[in-house]
């Protein structure tokens, strides 16, 4: 989808299909033209490093309400491979030379590639269509706005990662407050989003290190959850737009439902296999085992127990406390464990939410803040669990 310029006097815009770099003593820009030789220039302010071939890189556009300052420039590493695979930075970092990486040649090489790829737009991102102007050159932000985040990855590096797909990293990127977005899409401030531990950590490291040396370490979601279409939709569209706390809780709890269904299927398969391979085929024990794994509370308990070391201790404690506070608002008994408290809140919301006083609705917003952190850790770290 080539960039376009609006012609105020005609209904057909100029479609800029040709992009030519022009760097010499008197020029530092890209010339864009259409099939009729209509031309415009887009200024390039940074030092141009032409070492890299743009086709050897993959570009993704995101937005962030947290890491959107000009100096929020990070090297991107894959956690499992401990491998640098690219850079992430706001568009402001490639239309300005007033930031800490303006003289970092490694950043500048990626910056040039990102700038060029946005101009040719083979990824076909939606973009703004500015009006034709007779004076002054154009800026990249005229076409993409001033708030997009650019993730630029080396294809040769990501080829070292088995079955690499950007969708497998959406959860991890979301944990740093990076949201999959079109450039023309408005990103809403959702009040019931809580800064995750990943976001707090990257902020702390960025404050301690020089610009451009901070690693943003991204992690693939669990191999057992890759390919789950709901998770892709959750982080591409649902969570970034949904403000209603009731709906938001439901969206998050669907992840729990998904995972405990996987636990059931694995456990059921193991029980049947054990029964078939056991000479003493005890029908009573078989029925008891199947009844046990059919309990949603049991599967949630096993899930939380298996992954609790991955959870932030504060989030886990707060979530348990907040769930019990909401149960109190419903005149229900408090629960002595997080799995039971979470399951009870889910049951109340499904069956009795109409009885919740409006003044207690903020409690559910608080629950969602902590619950979101727990759900993220589950998606990233889930391993096969079998209930015997």
Sign of CA dihedral 115, 120, 125, 127: positive
For residue 32, what pLDDT band results from cuts at 50, 70 and 90?
A: very high
Residue 292 is predicted with a pLDDT of: 77
Domain ranges of the chain: 49-236, 245-381
User: What pLDDT digit, counting tens, does each position of 160-189 carry?
Assistant: 999 999 999 999 999 999 999 999 998 877
Q: Is the pLDDT of residue 194 over 70?
A: no
Of 108-122, 142-156, 358-372, the least confident:
358-372
Sign of CA dihedral 329, 373, 264, 320: negative
Report the share of the chain in percent with pLDDT over 70.
95
Residues in the chain: 388
What residues are paired with 3 via a beta bridge? 16
Of 23-37, 76-90, 277-291, the least confident:
277-291
Spatial CB neighbours of 360, under 8 Å, sequence gap ≥ 6: 326, 329
Sign of CA dihedral 44, 49, 52, 57: negative
SS3 percent helix, strand, coil of the chain, rounded to 5, is 50, 15, 35
For residue 289, what pLDDT band results from cuts at 50, 70 and 90?
A: confident
The 8 Å CB, 24+ separation contacts for 381-385 are 381/222, 381/307, 381/310, 382/222, 382/224, 382/225, 382/259, 382/262, 382/303, 382/307, 383/222, 383/224, 383/306, 384/224, 384/262, 384/266, 385/263, 385/266, 385/267, 385/302, 385/303, 385/306
More reliable by pLDDT, 91 or 36: 91
**pTM beyond 0.85, yes or no:** yes
Helix ranges, the chain (H): 105-120, 141-144, 155-158, 170-175, 197-208, 229-233, 239-241, 245-277, 283-294, 296-307, 313-329, 338-352, 361-381
For tokens 């079998």, the residue is: 386
Q: Is the pLDDT of residue 295 over 90?
A: no
């Amino acid at each position: 989808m080539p960039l376009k310029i609006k012609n105020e006097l005609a209904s057909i815009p100029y479609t800029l299909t040709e992009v030519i770099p022009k760097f010499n003593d008197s020029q530092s820009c890209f010339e864009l033209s259409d099939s009729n030789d209509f031309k415009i220039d887009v200024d390039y302010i940074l030092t141009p490093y032409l070492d890299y071939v743009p086709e050897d890189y993959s570009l993704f556009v995101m937005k962030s309400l947290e890491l959107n300052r000009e100096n929020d420039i990070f090297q991107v590493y894959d956690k499992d491979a401990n491998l640098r695979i690219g850079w992430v930075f706001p568009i402001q970092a490639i239309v300005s030379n007033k930031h800490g990486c303006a003289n970092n040649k490694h950043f500048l090489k990626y910056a040039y590639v990102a700038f060029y790829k946005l101009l040719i737009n083979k990824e076909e991102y939606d973009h703004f269509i500015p009006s034709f102007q007779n004076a002054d050159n154009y800026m990249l932000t005229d076409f993409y706005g001033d708030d997009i985040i650019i993730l630029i990855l080396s294809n040769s590096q990501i080829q070292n990662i088995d079955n690499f797909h950007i969708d497998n990293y959406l959860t991890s990127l979301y944990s740093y407050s990076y949201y999959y977005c079109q450039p023309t899409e408005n990103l809403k401030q959702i009040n019931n989003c809580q800064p995750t531990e990943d976001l707090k950590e990257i902020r702390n490291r960025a404050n301690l290190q020089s610009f451009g040396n901070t690693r943003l370490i991204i992690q693939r979601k669990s191999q057992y959850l890759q390919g789950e279409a709901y998770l892709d939709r959750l982080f591409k569209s649902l969570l970034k737009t949904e403000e209603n706390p009731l709906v938001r809780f439901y969206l998050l709890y669907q992840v729990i439902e998904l995972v405990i269904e996987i636990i059931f299927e694995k456990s059921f398969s193991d029980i049947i296999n054990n029964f078939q391979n056991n000479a003493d085929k005890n029908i009573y024990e078989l029925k008891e085992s199947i009844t046990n794994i059919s309990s949603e509370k049991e599967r949630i308990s096993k899930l939380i127990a298996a992954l609790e070391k991955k959870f932030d201790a504060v989030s886990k404690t707060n979530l348990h406390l907040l769930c019990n506070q909401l149960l109190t608002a419903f005149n229900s008994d408090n629960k002595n464990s997080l799995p039971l408290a979470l399951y009870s809140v889910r049951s109340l919301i499904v069956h009795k939410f109409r009885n919740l006083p409006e003044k207690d609705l903020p409690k559910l917003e608080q629950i969602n803040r902590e619950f979101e952190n727990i759900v993220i850790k589950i998606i990233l770290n889930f391993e096969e669990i079998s209930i015997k």
